[in-house]
Each structure stands twice: as C-alpha cells, then as structure tokens.
Amino acid sequence: MTTDPSPARVTADADVLAADLLVGGPARAALDHVREHSWVTLVASGPLLDDAEAVIGTLGDDDLAGDWRHRIERACELVSHPDDDHPALAAAYRGGAMHLLTLDDSLLSASAGAALRGRVETSPRHPRAFAALFDAESLYREVVGGEYPGPDRDPRD
Amino acid sequence: MCVRQGYAVTRYSPGKALYSARPTPPVTWADLFARADRYDRTEADVSDALRRHRADDDDDD
C-alpha cells in the first residue's frame, strides 16, 4: 500500500539521518525544517533506520545509536517495504514523500533523476538544496491552507 | 546509577532499597547533538560508512 504523494512528506536516506546527528551542516539544517513544523512528515522504514543506526554505531557509539533510534522513531512515520528494495527509495515511494534527501551521488545524478521521473513522484535532493529552497510559507498555504503561523515545534526538543 | 532510555534504575546496595525506578525525561535532539559533537565526523565519513554497511549487507544475502 502506498500513500498519496505530498510535498510536505520527506524521506531522508540513512546518510542524511546519520549526518544530521554526527556532522550537522546541511543535513541538520534540512531536517530542522522538518522538526520545527508539525505538518511536515518525515517518512522512514525499519530497514532505513537500521542502516542509519548501524552507521551511528560505527562512527559514534552503540549507546548514542540506541538513544537516537528511540528519538527518531518518535519523530517519523514508518512504512514497510520488501527487504530487497533500496530502503530510502522504497520508503519515499510507499510513504508518499516527494522529497528524498540523500548524499548519494548515484541518486543525485541527472541519469537517476531521469530514471525516476515519470515512475515515481519523488525527487532526490542534496540536503543543502532542500534547506535552501524550503519555503515554509508557500508550502503551508498549499498543504494546510491559510496564513503560515511560523514554526510550531522546537527542533531541539 | 544505571540510566537507560526512559528509566533511572538504582542498583542494590546494602542498607538501601533493593530496587527503585522512576521515569526520566525522554532524550531530546539537543542532548543527542551534544553527545555526538565529540566525534567530529564529516559527510564523507558518513557516506563511506553507509556504503560499506550496505555492501556488507549485500554480501550476506
């Protein structure tokens, strides 16, 4: 089962999820936009979070990875997909995420974009591009309606 | 004291209550970012680690 695509639904590949925690920079700026708006949904899957947790465990430590997993599961909507699918692409497709944030050059390439267009309504984007182009006012008008009231959540909570 | 997600547990010691547990506040992003900061990682570190992890997973299949 899939969810209707929406520009207010976002999937972050495991590299972006781990970079948000361990690096900061564009990944954190992009996911801060998601965290500070309750009407923007982060879509993920168990295998996608497994990948990010493994990377955090490798580059950080297991306690940090475990606590991150507890926190991220409260922050996202989980969808399921076949085990052999690419976790980020499958989560985005099944969860109706029109934005797929990734650091993976193979997904960001023009050929990947061309291959995806027409088959799925998901656009892979570098988190820097998403952070720069995110327009909360116009997106709020489109998906919620009315005047944008500003951020409604603390992105550090 | 041993702190796990959601609970603070006081271990047994002579003369004290055998066991007590009380809820602890949920972990916040601010706390996680502060703890992660000491690792000083880069995007390249993360990309490499994910590539290796997914390659290992493919080898296991």
Per-residue confidence (pLDDT) for residue B21, from 0 to 100: 65
Each domain of chain A, given as residue ranges in start order, spans 6-143
List CB contacts (< 8 A) between B50 and chain A: 13-15, 18, 51, 55
d(C-alpha A111, C-alpha A105), whole Å: 11
Interchain pair B43, A23: CB under 8 A: yes
Interchain pair A15, B61: CB under 8 A: no
Each domain of chain B, given as residue ranges in start order, spans 2-60
State pLDDT tens for residues B19-39.
Answer: 556 677 889 999 999 999 999
CA A50 to chain B, closest CA, distance in angstroms equals 10
Q: Which of B29, B33, B56, B61 to mutate to test the interface with A (most CBs of A within 10 A)?
A: B29
- CATH number (3.40.50.1010, 3.90.850.10, 1.10.260.40, 3.40.30.10) of A6-143 reads 3.40.50.1010
List CB contacts (< 8 A) between B45 and chain A: 22-23, 59
Residue A101: C-alpha distances to residues A86, A117, A151, B8 (Å): 14, 16, 21, 36
d(C-alpha A6, C-alpha A140), whole Å: 12
Q: Which of A22, A69, A76, A157 to mutate to test the interface with B (most CBs of B within 10 A)?
A: A22
State pLDDT tens for residues A79-105.
Answer: 999 999 999 999 999 999 999 999 999
Q: Does B36 touch chain A (CB under 8 A)?
A: yes
The pTM score is 0.88
In the structure, what pLDDT confidence band is assigned to residue A111 with cuts at 50, 70 and 90?
Answer: confident
Instruction: Report, in this order, helix, strand and coil percent for chain B, each rounded to 5.
Output: 50, 20, 35
Q: Does A58 touch chain B (CB under 8 A)?
A: yes
Per-residue confidence (pLDDT) for residue A119, from 0 to 100: 78
What is the ipTM score, two decimals? 0.94
